Each structure stands twice: as structure tokens, then as C-alpha cells.
Amino acid sequence: AQTVTQSQPEMSVQEAETVTLSCTYDTSESDYYLFWYKQPPSRQMILVIRQEAYKQQNATENRFSVNFQKAAKSFSLKISDSQLGDAAMYFCAYRSGFQGAQKLVFGQGTRLTINP
């Protein structure tokens, strides 16, 4: 079974600075997808960024980018120019590429605080 581990329960960063959230995963599959979701106090999970395992290029979405190291099974999220609205729980998630196996396997989450 696949597992996802986030080793940083909490992180904090000064507004406008850069922060990196860590995620490692364990799988024997070669085809899969990785995601970062943001969960603000409203509880709604919001997709931040996604990465297909077959793509070597790291995904980027505006101020959010990932460092995907397939051999090391590492998938970190970098947030540049941090804003107060970035404060939330961040979850790393894995999804198998096997057709029909679409459930997301989540890590424990990292609580990100932005200091003004």
C-alpha cells in the first residue's frame, strides 16, 4: 500500500519570504500522480498544484512550485513571496495511475503560519 509522509507538523515564514514544505512517499508503482492541497480554516480542500510522475519537468503554478525527485520519492512544495492568505494546512497526496484506482492517499499535513 502507498504511504505519504509529511515530517513537518508546523512551519512558519515571514510575509514575502519563501518557504518549502516537505513530502515523501512510498510506492512500488511507476505511474502515479502527486498533489498538494491547501485546507484553510473553512475546511474546504483546494488543489494547489499537481505533478504527473512521468513528467520530468517540475510543475509550477504562479508562486507555487514543486521539486519532484522520483528516485528519492520526494515531492516538496515551494511557496515564493508568501502572503497572509497562504496560511493554512497543506496536504501532500498520492494517486495511483492505475485506471480505476482514483482514491487520494494523504499525508498528515503541515500547518503553515505567515508572520506579518
Residues that bind another protein (CB under 8 A): 4, 33, 37, 42-47, 50, 52, 91, 93, 97, 99-104, 106-109
Integer angstrom CA distances of residue 106 from 76, 80, 83, 114: 14, 23, 24, 23
**Whole-number Å distance between alpha carbons of 63 and 82:** 8
In sequence order, what E strands does 53-87 have? 60-61, 64-69, 74-79
Minimal distance in Å, beta carbon 6 to another protein?
Answer: 8
Residue with Cβ nearer another protein (16 or 47): 47
Residue with Cβ nearer another protein (43 or 85): 43
Residue with Cβ nearer another protein (28 or 99): 99
Minimal distance in Å, beta carbon 84 to another protein?
Answer: 21
Q: Which residues pair with 17 in a beta bridge?
A: none
Q: Report the greatest alpha carbon distance in the chain.
A: 45
Residue type, 92: C
Minimal distance in Å, beta carbon 18 to another protein?
Answer: 24
Residue with Cβ nearer another protein (19 or 94): 94
Minimal distance in Å, beta carbon 86 to another protein?
Answer: 18
